[in-house]
Amino acid sequence: MRAFLHSMVVVCLAAGVCVGTQGQGGDATRILAATREALGGEQKLAAVKTFVATGRTRQIRGNNLVPIEFEIACELPDKYVRRDEIPAQESGPTSTGFNGEGLIQLPPPPPPAPSAQTAKPALVPAAPPDPRKARVTSIKQDFVRLTLGLFATSFGSYPLTFTLDGQAEAPQGKADIVGVKGAGTFALEFFVNSDTHLPIMVSWTMPATSVVLVVPGQPAPENLPPGSIKVDAPAPPGATATKEEQGKYAASIQDLRKKALTGAKPVEYRIYYADYRDIGNGLKFPFRLRRAIAGETVEETNFDTFKINGRIDPRKFEVVK
């Protein structure tokens, strides 16, 4: 696993680290058109109505390297599902995706918990937010990060706007930076090789969410999650501490976590596209993806096959009721 981690980090660093940028704004249409031409051309890309991709993902979870076999089925522009199976586990396969605004998820998620009625009895309480909608949005954003590397365009299932933000210096040359924005606060940067016009990576930031406490007298935490914040914490009260003392300690720990997250810098996420190959009809798709968090590689995906414009069983896109 150490060798795997080392090789992945080396490749990621060589794949397009941004040394400096010069914002220049303007229209990104020219960059995206050149990228679509490099991927196979406007006509061939526009002719793709469905695709099915299969392969393997290796995911780092703590000290373990978990192999996952997957199938991605997509009927453009608004049907997408990924089926994952972990051979080393006895649990069955899982599926997540979207059909329009509907959630695809197997096993199905638990029903939303009923909210406590805090309003006056005469008033009708507001309906609780449906977590399935947030899940659909998250899956659609993953769909964007994948399909930018395949099609370099926006689909109606999650419309995007593009701006030309500048250039970056990378070990293999220059990269054009296209700013990408979607609904709400969704934003990322799309890096395209200025010479080959093939996608290099997407990069985005998210607020830090993980705080790791270092407590005196306890072993120092190892294998911290990427992007986590290490905070020195006071020693816990002894076994004879009163409930009040224990409560004060717990409150102080919560305050430490809150302050650490409030002052933390956003965590950078990246997905690198690599190993572009002709899939047989003039289209070039990436056969390798790498995901990194705060500079640490956490996942590698290798595609085995891409099948274009085949019939997909409609049952794959059945929505959770």
Tally of structural domains, the chain: 2
Residue 13: band (very low, low, confident or very high) from pLDDT cuts 50, 70, 90: very low
Q: What is the structure's pLDDT at 104?
A: 96
DSSP run (H or E) holding 277? strand 267-278
Q: What range defines the domain where residue 237 resides?
A: 211-262
Do 256 and 294 have their domain in common? Answer: no
pLDDT higher than 50, residue 111: yes
Do 215 and 313 have their domain in common? Answer: no
> What CATH code is carried by the domain that includes residue 77?
2.50.20.10
CA gap 164, 162 in Å, rounded: 7
Q: Residue 73 pairs with which residues in a beta bridge?
A: 52, 81
The count of other CB atoms within 10 Å of the CB of residue 282 is 12
Domain end call among 262, 281, 305 = 262
Contact 115, 128 (CB under 8 A): yes
Do 69 and 136 have their domain in common? Answer: yes
Of 18 and 168, the structure prediction assigns the larger pLDDT to 168
Task: Average the pLDDT over 38-65 and give the result.
Answer: 93
Do 169 and 290 have their domain in common? Answer: yes
Do 43 and 189 have their domain in common? Answer: yes
307 falls within a domain:
yes
Instruction: Look at 50-54, 124-128, 144-148, 229-233 and tell me which has the smallest mean pLDDT.
Output: 124-128
Do 241 and 150 have their domain in common? Answer: no
Residue 114: band (very low, low, confident or very high) from pLDDT cuts 50, 70, 90: low
Do 252 and 273 have their domain in common? Answer: no
- The 3-state DSSP class for residue 53 equals strand
222 falls within a domain:
yes
pLDDT higher than 80, residue 22: no
122 falls within a domain:
no
The count of other CB atoms within 10 Å of the CB of residue 43 is 9
Contact 77, 159 (CB under 8 A): no
Please state whether beta strands 229-232 and 211-214 pair in parallel, antiparallel, or not at all (unpaired): parallel
Domain end call among 262, 286, 301 = 262
Do 253 and 299 have their domain in common? Answer: no
Residue 257 sits at the vertex; the CA angle it makes with 254 and 258, to the nearest 5 degrees, is 85
pLDDT in tens, 209-254: 888 888 887 877 777 788 888 888 888 888 888 989 889 989 998 9
117 falls within a domain:
no
- CB crowding 116-130: b at 16 or more within 10 Å, else e: eeeeeeeeeeeeeee
Q: What is the structure's pLDDT at 221?
A: 75
Do 83 and 34 have their domain in common? Answer: yes
Q: What is the structure's pLDDT at 101?
A: 96
Residue 40 token pair: 């196979």
51 burial via Cβ count (<10 Å: 0-12, 13-18, 19+): buried
143 closest CA partner among 93, 198, 205, 81: 81
Contact 174, 184 (CB under 8 A): no
- CB crowding 294-316: b at 16 or more within 10 Å, else e: bebbbbbbebeebebeeebeeeb
Q: What are phi and psi of 262, to 5 degrees?
A: -65, -40
Contact 308, 281 (CB under 8 A): yes
Of 142 and 173, the structure prediction assigns the larger pLDDT to 142
CA gap 101, 157 in Å, rounded: 8
Residue 124: band (very low, low, confident or very high) from pLDDT cuts 50, 70, 90: low
The pTM of the whole model exceeds 0.85: no
Contact 20, 169 (CB under 8 A): yes
285 falls within a domain:
yes
pLDDT higher than 60, residue 141: yes
Do 215 and 250 have their domain in common? Answer: yes
pLDDT in tens, 178-204: 999 999 999 999 999 999 999 999 999
Q: What is the structure's pLDDT at 24?
A: 44
pLDDT above 90 coverage of the chain, percent: 61
123 falls within a domain:
no
* DSSP 8-state assignment for residue 153: S
Residue 254 token pair: 């919560």
Please state whether beta strands 64-75 and 50-61 pair in parallel, antiparallel, or not at all (unpaired): antiparallel
Do 162 and 241 have their domain in common? Answer: no
pLDDT higher than 70, residue 118: no
67 falls within a domain:
yes
Task: Average the pLDDT over 43-59 and give the result.
Answer: 96
pLDDT higher than 70, residue 61: yes
Mean pLDDT value across the chain: 86
Amino acid at 278: D
Q: What is the structure's pLDDT at 1?
A: 43
Q: What is the structure's pLDDT at 23?
A: 42
pLDDT higher than 80, residue 113: no
The count of other CB atoms within 10 Å of the CB of residue 113 is 8
- The 3-state DSSP class for residue 231 equals strand
Do 233 and 203 have their domain in common? Answer: no
Q: What is the structure's pLDDT at 274?
A: 96
- Which residue bears the tokens 């794959």? 316
228 falls within a domain:
yes
pLDDT in tens, 273-318: 999 999 988 999 999 999 999 999 999 999 999 999 999 999 999 9
Domain end call among 246, 262, 278 = 262
